[in-house]
Amino acid sequence: MRIGVIGTGYVGLVTGACFAEIGQSVLCGDVDQTKISQLKLGVMPIYEPGLAELVRGNMDAERLDFTSDLAEIARTADVIFIAVGTPQNRDGSADISNILEVSRIIGKEMKGEKIVVTKSTVPVGTSEKIRDTIESLSEFKVHVCSNPEFLREGSAVSDFTNPDRVILGVDNKYAESCLKDLYGSFMKNTEVILVMDLASAEMTKYAANAMLATRISFINSIAAFCKKKNADIQMVRKGIGSDHRIGLDYLNPGVGYGGSCFSKDMKALIKMMSDLDLNPSILLAVEELNEDQKTILFHEVIGRFGNDLTDKKIAIWGLSFKPDTGDMREAPSLATIEALLAHGASVSAHDPRAIKEAKQRFGTRISLCEDQYEVLNDASALVVHTEWDCYRHPDFEKVKSKMREAVVIDGRNLYNSNWLVSQGFEYYSVATSD
């Protein structure tokens, strides 16, 4: 079976590399020619643990190749995965123009029967649109499937190869058996392959992201209450999370969710529900709470120093929306930095992987350092945004020696409050009472 993947971002590149790793012949394509030229040289456009080795190893083994000629994929692949971006329209709905553009190329160029599989997150009903588009341009048979992706940035390769479940939305047995064979070849437990109709598969992705986002806003609300009433949110989290009906995942109080998916998919689901005259108020509340949560660290800063930050330098550890990725899309750090700059502060920041993206976003408006201690020079506060491992056990003596004022504002509850205070720090976090 020859596999084509269109879109070589987080989802497409991981999909292509992982299928190549199990011996499939994979051709990946993208409209971004620079990205394709880099990939052909073995240069990764993104950071994802284990991905570079996987891509280079499979290129060397001649199982994985890249092209900017999408027609070549349409002509040569038997199964084509679509993993292009589905960004947000102004009204919140998902923009599926990239999906339809790719469908047109497939329809025009295919020279035989194809299985076309959507990995991108798409509104319910998109599979039919893809099929109609392709069928209007081709005499050959097309089997359109929905196979939404659940990988998480930062652990994308291991999530892809050890998924909790694989959702296969299909409407015919031939496509079902091909995709089951494909996934079955690297999954130990094929019982986690869940076959369903197309609409249910498309909806499963939105429902999953909405559930996870809801848990995050929920625990952040409970954390705010605990802080006011001197209750320990970490104990409350354990107390509720040890109930098997609840569990502990996605119940960490923090600075709100970020990343390219949650907010975009929540808005798309809100729009889909509103269009059907259904009440999306639970989702609206989750989003509203999250927007507020993103500025919680900024409010800690002005709570401590006042509104005028003109003579203050604020150091930030962590810019990416989560650890183990360089991705800053919708990262809460963006809200903090913009608010700090608007109040006159100077900002210096460190991140193990996001410095390049931060430079593109902020230019010279903030200073960026490769050394996590250098950003602290003369800083009045250290704001910890992302829980990278390198921030978990820093040399606090060194931290203190560099700062003008020993103030730590911890958005990820990484440090022991009592110990830090005993070392002469002022400590604020989303979990500890003021």
Ligand X SMILES: NC(=O)c1ccc[n+]([C@@H]2O[C@H](COP(=O)([O-])OP(=O)(O)OC[C@H]3O[C@@H](n4cnc5c(N)ncnc54)[C@H](O)[C@@H]3O)[C@@H](O)[C@H]2O)c1
> Hunting for tokens 């869940």 — which residue is that?
194
In order of 134, 159, 199, 226, 374, the CA distances from 129 in angstroms are: 9, 29, 12, 48, 53
Known catalytic residues are 261
CA distance 228 to 350: 31
CA distance 264 to 66: 28
Nearest 5°: CA angle at 362, between 360 and 366?
Answer: 130
Question: Least distance (Å) from ligand X to the CB of residue 9?
Answer: 2
Question: Least distance (Å) from ligand X to the CB of residue 35?
Answer: 6
Number of H helices, E strands in the chain: 17, 14
By C-beta, is 29 or 254 nearer to ligand X? 29
Q: Which of 302, 334, 304 is nearest to 318 (CA)?
A: 334
Q: Which residues pair with 348 in a beta bridge?
A: 315, 367
Phi/psi for 103 (5° steps) reads -60, -40
Question: Least distance (Å) from ligand X to the CB of residue 116?
Answer: 14
By C-beta, is 85 or 253 nearer to ligand X? 85
> Hunting for tokens 């829980």 — which residue is that?
387
By C-beta, is 148 or 394 nearer to ligand X? 148
Residue number, nearest CB to ligand X: 9
By C-beta, is 202 or 300 nearer to ligand X? 202
Question: Least distance (Å) from ligand X to the CB of residue 263?
Answer: 11
Phi/psi for 6 (5° steps) reads -110, 120
Q: Which of 118, 29, 20, 14 is nearest to 73 (CA)?
A: 29
By C-beta, is 70 or 170 nearer to ligand X? 70
By C-beta, is 93 or 121 nearer to ligand X? 121
Q: Which of 149, 144, 124, 122 is nearest to 134 (CA)?
A: 144
Question: Least distance (Å) from ligand X to the CB of residue 340?
Answer: 27
Question: Least distance (Å) from ligand X to the CB of residue 82?
Answer: 9
Q: Would you tell me which residues interact with ligand X (CB under 6 A)?
A: 6-12, 30-32, 35, 70, 83-86, 98, 101-102, 120-121, 149, 151, 153, 260-261
Contacts of 152 (CB under 8 A, 6+ apart): 159, 322
